[in-house]
Every structure is written in structure tokens, then in C-alpha cells.
A and B are shown apart, each in its own frame.
Chain A
């Protein structure tokens, strides 16, 4: 028995129950019968429309700014999804119409073009570094200026969002905990990442004033997005679907602005962390502008289905390499980059070890047909691998001509998939199932670093002294005399020697130091010289050499050591 799993486009069979269902009058967006995938999409669209209505009501009922931010975010996500689903339905309808005009029977033989298998794409551990300037610190001294940010991720017609994070100047980067998984990606996928931000405090000009009493969504989306929504709704209006009722927000709610975006493709996939450039789209005048460093760090992995699911299985006779007449009967399972040969079909399911495994990778060569030494043995194929100096060939005999053809087809498909998915087929990349995200709770004020730090006077003075010593390169022979005023203990342990090539004596931190002090405010911008580390693009706005105020100027000449 040979079976093959290859995802093909499902069509509605004539006379099937599904077709009957459609004939009974559940026509929606098209005059032709909808493939089941379209009903799935329609269902999702209806769901998003309902969610959107809920979000609008919630937004109208919000009294607190933070609740309004969450509700506006939900609204934004719903709108984006509605737009994308509608666009997709439109595209499919068009494709159907075009397909029907040049009709050919659905199973007239092998597909003219080979299409690569689908895969799962997961992006996680997203981190966007920030770069606060000194001026920011000295500016809003009393109040902590806060922003609400989240990421919108789109692959094909699927849109997902991360949780919303409150950012203030005490954060060094924006870190999202979410794992975002897309299940129907092709190797040509484009994962678009958009960072949206809004001020947590009311934008001064709009506070309280019912300024933009638009009857459309533009007031909570931003003008260009609102235009897009209206345009797409108008084009889809004639399709007979129920018109989407647009709400009238009472007061201009919080406005999210697009701060940055980027698009990731297969080339960015790696089983590890990588840094990618962000295209920054807002500038300093925009109230929601954040000092983004200009890159995003994340882990983007992809699991093509050909690696995780068996693509073919069946009975084979394998000629043991080197022994001409010895053919072992096995149950072969082609999965990922291996052909596993089990003693019995059941072994594959029970987790028994296979009798042996034949590697199938980019360098493997497969030949079908009669071989010289296998004369008289029909329906064979041979698989050759190179291991260092040696070439090892396995000859496999299939049950029939049809089975041989199917095995060859499965192998060609696998080679095609490997050529398309490239590095994803070297090894299976792990994807952790994203934990179900808790619904956004009432936001407690996120503790900032300043709340956590127990700053003692001794810490401060000593730390400042130390920084000065290192930066200025002077050697402190004795601790400053005034230090004795703050401590009963004898003076500081041996201060650090100035920066030198010889291994600096490690700064020992006995108890007087307590918890080390944060240096985030003192961090200099990263060195942008050509020798600097990988894939950091030069910033669109190069920060000018900053006056360090109290501390020394210029690029860092320190090599700090901190105990942990």
C-alpha cells in the first residue's frame, strides 16, 4: 500500500454534502460554489466584525486612558484583519473566475508546476533596543513620560498582534514575551512587522476636545488607515455582504502611530537570534515618537511540513549494499531528510527504532530504473550518498511501476521543497507552542527601575567616584576624604586601575557596594565604526556627539566589569 501526503487545493466534489449545503442557499460573497476554505475565511471575517463591534462599545465605555489604549489596540487589530480577509476573499474570487474561464479537469495528471510544501513560521523573543539621550532624562524631570507600544505581524492574510507594553525612559529596550506562530506559510513568505505606539498621557491638543468627530474610523486609526478602510469597503460594497456599520467615537480616542516597520523573509530565518534593521517612520515632532535604536532582535524559525510530517510511506525491498542477492523487506517512511526503514509498518507509530536510515539531503543522488547488477529486478531506484571519500548506494525495489513512480515523485517533491526552504531543511528548527496569552488585564503601573533600586547614599557617591576615576583615567590614590563621612567602614577597597591593556584587576565588590548601580543612563551610543559588530545599520539620524554633562565626553574608553 502506498500513501502520499501532499497538500493540494481542495475543491468541492460534485454531489458532496458540502455542495448540497451551498445549493441550499447559503451563498455569500460569490455566485459560484465556495470552496471550504472560503467559508472558513468568511467565518473568520464575521468573527472579526463582531469583535470589532465589541471593541467599539468598549472604547466608548472606557473612562481610563489605559483601558482606552487596550480597546483601541483591539480595534486596530480587528480592522487590519477585516481589511486583509476581505482583500483575500476578493483575490480568491478573482482567481476562481479566471480559473473557470480556462477550465481543465482537476485530475488530468501531474501538476504542471510543482509547488513547495507549506510550513510553520514562528517569531519569538522580539526585542527592540531604545536609545535615550541625556536631554530626555533632564527634560521631564518630575513626570515619567510613557508610551504604549505593540507589534502587528502580518503573513499572507493572517494578522497577529503582541501584547501591549508600557515604555518609559527607564527601559533600555522593548521586549515582547509573545511567541507568534503562523501555520500556512510558503517559502516565499513575507512577514511584515509593524510597531505602533501611542502616548499614555493625553496629547495636549486633543485632551477633552471632541476635535475629530469623524463618522468613520479615521479618528482612532490615523488618517491614512482610515482612507484605506473606506476605499476597500467601497470596493467590496457591491458584493452583497452586510455593510459594516462604522461607529461614531464620542471623543477622539488614543491615537496609535506607526513608528517603524520591516519585512522578514526566508533569508532571515535562523535557529538563533538575529538582528534586523527597522525602517523608522515617525519623526521627533510626532507625539508618539520613541527614540528607537533602529533594529529589532528576534528569533525567526520555520518548520516546513516536509520536515515534520511523513511525505511518503510504503513497502520496499532494500538491497543491502554489497550483498547482491540479499533483499530485506521493510516499511519505508520518508520524513524530513531521512528515509526510515522499519521492520513493520506498526514500528513507525510505536516509536521503535528503524532497522536503518538512509539520509536524503541536498547532496543525495537518486536514480530510477534498471541498474546493471540489478538486471531482472524491475521497479528499482537507487539512492547514493557521499560520506567523505566513500559513496554509499542503496538500491530499493518498489512493489509496482505505479509505486515506483509515486516514490520518485515524492523524492522529487522533497528535493524541490529542500531547494525552496533552503536552510530550514538542514535540521528541524524547534518551535515552542506559544502559551495562550492571558487577556489584557487592568494595567497595573509597571514598576520602573527606580522603584526597584534601593539607592543608598554610599552607593551613589562611590559609584560616581568610580565612574569619574575610570573615565578621566586618573588614579585615585586614596578614597576621597569626604567618603568617610558616609561610612563607618574603612575606605573603599583598592580602586580600579586606569584602563590598560594588561588584565585589569577585577573589581571585587564586597558588601559595602550592595546592589550594583544601573548604568543605563551612562551608556554611550554603540560604536558605528566599520569594525563594529554585525548587521547594525547606520542610523538615519546619527546622534551628534553628546555632551555628557557631568561625565567625560567622547567614545567609551572603558571596559567595565560588574559582579553579578
Chain B
């Protein structure tokens, strides 16, 4: 079973009483909705409708045919209970999820690492290891003066610090929840790369070779292979799906 994420901020944050906070919330929703519409592993087509006042920001996303889960952010001021939709589609299993966070400031990376590890522990996710890959220094040397004085230069360097947090044995839903939480709270100035290793069973059409029934086939067998093409193979979808980005 797979639990879809219906995230309502009224649960996690205290309901703001003044206008300023709700306006900032709305801006947050706007930018984050755009970020999440960019996640290609979900591939949603987010239609963002901003209605009047301080109220509803409804982000409806239409996911491709396979899954029936949906993103729904309700109003900040409604106190309706959250809806957890459980779909019939089996949950994906992720053997490893590796978060690589890059930034210029090591103190911010330290704080973020503390936040991420604590969040993982609270949600019951196994943390494999947390380590710090060596920093990258990009140096450049430029002329100090606008005109002549070739011997006098100025050197600059840009330091990129890294932090890698490896988690293991996550289900698809848990990974979605954790990653969304952690990415919404990514501070300014940090970038993140998430590498997921999903596990799959050997599909049915690879268990047995199909030539066993017809041992004497030759040339026209290439035609038979086309039967095994999955339904949404790119040959049909190249033109259409680009619009969904």
C-alpha cells in the first residue's frame, strides 16, 4: 500500500494570526509548488490557481496514469483533518537514498546535517553513514589593474563544502515525505543532490526466453520483440510529454 502525501501546513505549524505571516506562507507555497512541479520523478503538471485574499492556495497536480495519488495543499485556516489516501499500487522500495548537500558555509551545513539526521531518527529511517567529502576550491587569478601592470594580480577562490547523508531501506512513501520535508527546509545558499536506488523484481518477460516454443525462428523474430515494448515508450511520447515539463 502506498500512502499519498496530502500535506497541510495547518498541522505542522501553528496557525498564524496576523496577515504578514500568511502572506509569507503564501509566497512559500508559490515557490515550493514550482519546485515540486519540477521533480521529474513525480512528473506532475501543476496548475496553480491563486484565489483572492489570504485564503485558499490550491495546487492540483495531475500525475501520469499509473498512480492515483495527488498533492493537495488546503487552506491555512481550515481545521479539517488531513486526508491520507491509500492507493492499491505497491510501494516502491528504495535500498539507498543518498543526500549530498553542497554549500559555501560550513556552519550552515553543520546545522542542516543536525536537522536532517534528527528528522530521519524521528521518522524511524536508518541512517547508514554521515560523512564529509573533502571540499572543492575553485581558484582564479585575474589582473589587478584595468590597464597594464601584468605582474600584479589578484587571486580569488570559491570553496564548496559537502556533506553526504546516506539512508537505507526506505519505502517510496517514506522517502517522499522525508525528502519533501527536508527540501522545503533547505536554507538559502545550499544545493542538494538526491540519488535514489530503487529495487525491482525481475519482470515476467525476462524469466524465460521466448524462443523455447519456436526454436526454428530467425529473421522475423525482431518483429516479435516489439510486442514487449512498454506502453508509453518514447517513440510515441517525445512530442507530447515535453509540454508537461
**Do these two chains interact?**
no
Question: Chain B residues in contact with chain A, CB under 8 A?
Answer: none
